[in-house]
Amino acid sequence: MASVATDAAGLGRARAGGFVAPALVLIALFLVFPALWTIYLGMTDYRLTGLAASAPSFVGTENYTDALSDRHFTSSLWLTLEYVLGSAIIGQSILGFALAWMMRKTRAAVRGIVETLVLIAWLMPSSVVSFLWLAMLDRSGGTLNTLLHTPGFNWLIEHPMLSIIIFNTWRGTAFSMMLFSAALQSVPPSQLESAKMAGANGAQQFRDVVFPHIRGHVLTNTLLISLWTFNDFSPYLLTAGGPNHASEILPVFIYNSALYGGELGYGAAISLIMLVINLIIALVYLALLRQRGPGRPTRRERRVGEAALEVAA
């Protein structure tokens, strides 16, 4: 019985290993090796140019201790948090859900137009999109300043974080919208009707009927977009991290210190820190998903279900 369970195909250990090997080699080559290499680089003073480029020396954890005392790194960490919270968790999720919710009952033509527009923002290449935004936010002659009658107002200097947060919300909402649209279709209309008849208002319907059905999707969506946003480099195209580091989120910080400043070792150390943060985010979400996955109704869900049955009866 044990042999059936572990070797259903009857290949044997060696042949099974042969089949898996190409995949393992690819993973090792493109995933494990770069990660280990990053760890190694992060413990050297490797630079893009100069003596340390030809003969880097081992510095142990110095890059990490330097990072902790580097005011630009700590501020960059906060900015990244702000960026993820603002543009992904609040901006994209809420706007995406709102769009999905509103589009449920609109006419197909309207829905088609709205969805296409939102999707285009998502599908266009970053370089193109950022150029459009630069033109829109331009200090002299930009569209926004013309509309608001605020000539000469430099949005990217006065409100750099707000600008890139709105930029990324605009750009990435399509994913949340599509995911929530699909999720909302899984909410049985009968339950909503029942709740309505039982006198539940909009907020109550959402909390007790809709949300329990889409909780898994909310978590998945939050996880994906926070990871993407956390690693997003496109704000560089708008502000290059400026003014004076005020919008320097971590990926931009790494680019600026590793390539612009030439400190490859330091950049690698920060990359590893980012990698660890990514893993932590992923693990937390996975734990949440496992703990409260769909299928096991909560007490409130049961109550709603019972109420619906009563009404139906």
Binding residues vs other proteins (CB under 8 A): 30-31, 34-35, 37-38, 41-42, 47-51, 53-54, 126-127, 130-131, 134, 139, 154, 156-157, 216, 220, 223-224, 227, 230-231, 233-234, 236-240, 242-244, 246, 251, 254-255, 258-262, 267-268, 270-272, 274-275, 278-279, 282, 285-286, 289, 293-295
- Closest separation in Å from C-beta 119 to other proteins: 20
Cα–Cα nearest to 167, from 198, 196, 199, 135: 135
For the bound state, the minimum distance from the C-beta of residue 125 to other proteins, rounded and expressed in Å, comes to 9
CB-CB contact of 187 with 210 (8 Å): yes
User: What is the smallest separation between the CB atom of 262 and other proteins, expressed in angstroms?
Assistant: 7
Q: Minimal distance in Å, beta carbon 201 to other proteins? A: 30
| Rounded distance between C-alpha atoms, residue 244 and residue 295, angstroms | 50
Min CB(43)–other proteins separation in Å: 12
**Residue 206 or 285 having the CB closest to other proteins:** 285
Count the Cβ atoms, other than its own, within 10 Å of residue 190: 10
Task: Give least dist CB 107 to other proteins, A.
Answer: 30
Residue 15: what are its φ and ψ, rounded to 5°?
Answer: -70, -40
Least distance from other proteins to the Cβ atom of residue 33, Å: 8
CA distance 239 to 248: 8
C-beta closer to other proteins: residue 97 or 266: 266
Closer to other proteins by Cβ: residue 3 or 69: 69
Q: Which of 250, 264, 262 is nearest to 42 (CA)?
A: 264
Residue among 171, 175, 205 nearest 100 (CA)? 175
Which CB atom, from 19 or from 260, has the smaller least distance to other proteins?
260
Q: How far apart are CA 12 and CA 78, in angstroms?
A: 52
Shortest reach from residue 21's CB to other proteins, in Å: 18
Nearer to other proteins, 38 or 204 (CB): 38
Q: What angle do CA 304, 310, 311 make, to 5 degrees?
A: 90
Tell me how far apart the alpha carbons of residues 257 and 267 are, in angstroms, rounded to a whole number: 6
Residue whose structure tokens are 């690693």: 231
Question: How many angstroms separate the CA atoms of 241 and 254, rounded?
Answer: 11
Phi, psi of 244, deg, nearest 5? 45, 55
Q: How far apart are CA 223 and CA 126, in angstroms?
A: 22
Task: Output 177 or 225, the one with its CB closest to other proteins.
Answer: 225
- Helices 160-185 & 211-230 angle (0-180, nearest 10): 140
Angle (nearest 5°) at CA 84 between 39 and 282: 55
Nearer to other proteins, 126 or 204 (CB): 126
> Would you say 12 or 293 has its CB closer to other proteins?
293
One-letter amino acid identity for 216?
G
